[in-house]
Amino acid sequence: MSLRSEFPVFERVSYLNAGSVGPAPRSAADAAIAEVRGQVDGGLVGVAQFERQLELAARLRERAAALLGADPGEVALTGATTDGVNAVIGGLELGPGDEVLTSDEEHPGLLAPLAAARERRGVSVRVVPFDEVAGAAGPATRLIACSHVSWHTGRVADTAGLAAAGPRVLLDGAQGLGAIAFDVRSLRCDFYAASGQKWLCGPIGSGYLYVGSDRIDELSPIAPGYGSLADPLKALELDLRAGAARFDAGFPPSHQAAWALASMDVLAAAGMDDVLRRGPALAARLAGDLAARGHTVAPRGDSTLVSWEAADPEAESKRLYGEGFVVRHLPGTPYVRASVGAWSSEEELERLVATSAS
């Protein structure tokens, strides 16, 4: 079975919006539904159901760690990329005199936590152009927080430059994990906040945060709970459990974890290396074809996002929807954006080029 045929959505439309929410495979629905039924029918009750939930969470942490190139003890299960960003920005000891450096192509899910750190803790926030971040760190810069892949343009951060800059580095990997090939050791970042529901085709409400083993004790959990503790009977002593699991956003419901795992299985069956090669390759081809047709394509990198200018991006994305394509406009920019995955077909991309107003 081809990768594409695993996803029911492609029987209806040319879905090119994984950068918002990924398509989900049929088997993920089946897995989630089985877990919903299991919980409601009471086949497992009480302790047994809780153990099932913990078992799926442990498997998910291992799988996410493998995808990141990290150890399971370095991965927290979150509900969204934004959760991971907040865990890092809110969890670091930052205050007046400390600066966080960021770029001008960031998502509100990274900017809002930075604004909160400024308003509440007196942290300085400095914004520079996306491709100047690595060189812009100064003596007060304690943290660089920026996208691995820009959600506006698909440009890829100069991660080697960021790693060499000196301050701690938090990458917003919403458009990175599951989209492009990397591992966190090679990136040499300290923190990597990723999404589960985009390129990994998991459910809304899933995400992963990498915290390097040397960095775990630099973060205080911003929302500790039962699951953060080594011994819940001594909660007031705040003896935190080992590893990044202390930063988990609660315990993922078993239907959420099962969905995420089933989607990872589908990608793994297609060959994760192939998935991570084919998506960016198809995106590069789409970008070239749009440019050849006279479109102004945003400067981009080796990623799965292709943004191009339109006179009225919102109207153009609506028009394309009417033609059977799900793309999106990016408010505040001149762009319409297509998210191209390994599941995309050459034929649909050719049709998109042919259909796009020039």
> Site residues for a copy of itself, window 225-254 (CB under 8 A)?
225-226, 228-229, 232-233, 235-238, 249-254
Residues in region 264-293 near a copy of itself by CB under 8 A: none
Query: How far apart are CB 300 and a copy of itself at their closest, in Å?
Result: 22
The contact pattern for a copy of itself, residues 167-206, with x = CB under 8 A and - = no contact, is ------------------------------------xxx-
Q: Which is nearer to a copy of itself, 161 or 333 (CB)?
A: 333
Number of residues that bind a copy of itself (CB under 8 A): 83
Query: Among residues 325, 73, 24, which one has the least CA distance to residue 196?
Result: 24
Residue 56: Cβ within 10 Å count:
22
Max CA separation in the chain (angstroms)? 66
Contacts of residue 269, Cβ cutoff 8 Å, sequence gap at least 6: none
Site string for a copy of itself, 295-334 (x = CB under 8 A): --------------------------x----x-x--xx--
CA distance 145 to 100: 7
* Strand, coil or helix: 356: coil
Amino acid at 99: E
Choice from 19, 72, 90, 173 touching a copy of itself (CB under 8 A): 90
Rule CB under 8 A: which of 12-31 touch a copy of itself?
Answer: 12-13, 15, 17, 20-21, 23-26, 28-29
For a copy of itself, the closer of residues 113 and 313 by Cβ is 113
One character per residue 110-149, x = contact with a copy of itself (rule: CB under 8 A): -xxxxxx-xxx----x-x----------------------
CB of 344 to a copy of itself, least distance (A): 15
- Indicate the residue among 56 and 284 with the shorter CB distance to a copy of itself: 56
Q: Which is nearer to a copy of itself, 84 or 182 (CB)?
A: 84
Strands (E), the chain: 14-15, 75-78, 99-103, 124-128, 141-147, 168-172, 191-195, 207-211, 305-309, 325-326, 328-329, 335-339
**What is the pattern of x (binds a copy of itself, CB under 8 A) and - over residues 59-88?**
--------------------xx-xx--xx-
Contact of 118 with 93, CB cutoff 8 Å: no
> How far is residue 289 CA from its own chain's centroid?
27
Shortest gap between Cβ of 353 and a copy of itself (angstroms)? 20
Output the CA angle 221-222-225, nearest 5 degrees.
70
**Which CB atom, from 183 or from 239, has the smaller least distance to a copy of itself?**
239
Nearer to a copy of itself, 25 or 182 (CB): 25
What distance in Å separates the CA atoms of residue 184 and residue 76, rounded to the nearest whole number?
14
Residue 54 interacts with a copy of itself (CB under 8 A): yes or no: no
Q: Minimal distance in Å, beta carbon 291 to a copy of itself?
A: 25
Bridge partners of 99? 124, 141
Distance between CA atoms of residues 302 and 159, nearest Å: 13
User: In which residue are the tokens 């938090």 written?
Assistant: 170
| Distance in angstroms (rounded) separating the CA atoms of residues 301 and 156 | 5
